[in-house]
Amino acid sequence: MAKPPKLDAAAAEAVDLAREAAIEQGGEHAVGEHLGVVAEEGDRIVTHSFECLLPGYRDWRWAVTTVRASRARNVTVNEVVLLPQPDALLAPEWVPWEDRIGAGDIAPGMLMATPDNDPRLEPGFAASDQLNDGDDADWVQLRTTVAELGLGRQRVLSRHGRDEAVERWQRGEAGPNNELSREAPANCATCAYFVPLRGSLGVLYGACTNEYSPSDGHVVHLDHGCGGHSDVVAEQRAKELPAPAFDTISIDESLFD
């Protein structure tokens, strides 16, 4: 039985040299972590493996072979190649498009059809964001009439859809549990820039209208907050600048006669 090749210590320790060679070949952002080193057939020859970060090269590895000549101290690079691993040449398991798309993936020109049985929506005539204090029969008749006349929206958010949105917003950056809110002088509920939403969502959420806030134009929780709260008022008003000594703004029409 043949003896396994001996790992040369100097060539094996030349990780930085091997990384530099891989970066020179593929670019700084294409080389990842050092994955190991193996001894090759022959004297003082080893191959270093690095993670490949190039798009489209899933499960590929950078292989950098280093060698040291007999009785020499310096290690040199012999070869730099990309090598596929067992799963690199296999297509990933097919996932339907509707299961691949995630939150925020809709881009300009992209259409994402909503299923006709989406639990987040319900027919517009069958839903209301207000409580019904009247007769059920009259209420149903009113909704049916509205639908027949083509008034209102065809579909609206269901209670499930509203609850799902509230839970998602609660966990997001617009919720109350983040560093921005903890460092704020007061919450959005007491801010003049806060505009409540209509309907049941307005009980907890509104929109921020402060252009200097990172939440401007976004839905925020009542207990959310930032450093741009309207109650934070400067002690002194900004000084008004005097009129310019020379008028550099107006145009003398006579110059163009």
Q: Per-residue confidence of the chain (257 residues) as pLDDT tens digits?
A: 667 788 889 999 999 999 999 999 999 999 999 999 999 988 889 999 999 999 889 899 999 999 998 888 899 999 999 999 988 888 778 888 777 878 778 778 877 777 778 888 887 766 555 444 555 676 667 666 666 665 667 778 888 988 999 999 988 888 998 888 999 999 999 999 999 998 888 899 999 999 999 999 999 999 999 999 998 887 776 677 777 676 666 766 665 55
Domains of the chain: 9-84 (3.10.450), 121-157 (no CATH), 160-221 (no CATH)
- Whether pTM > 0.75 for this model: the answer is no
Non-local (6+) Cβ contacts of 80 within 8 A are 21, 22, 24, 25, 62, 63, 64, 65
195-198 long-range contacts, CB within 8 A, separation 24+: 198/129
Closest CA to 37 of 15, 70, 59, 68: 15
Give the Cα separation of 56 and 35 in Å (integer): 19
pLDDT at 144: 67
Helical spans, DSSP H, in 51-209:
97-100, 136-148, 159-171, 179-182
User: Is 192 within 8 Å of 230 (Cβ atoms)?
Assistant: yes
Buried b or exposed e, range 86-101, using 16+ CB within 10 angstroms? eeeeeeeeeeeeeeee
Q: How much is the pLDDT for 131?
A: 45
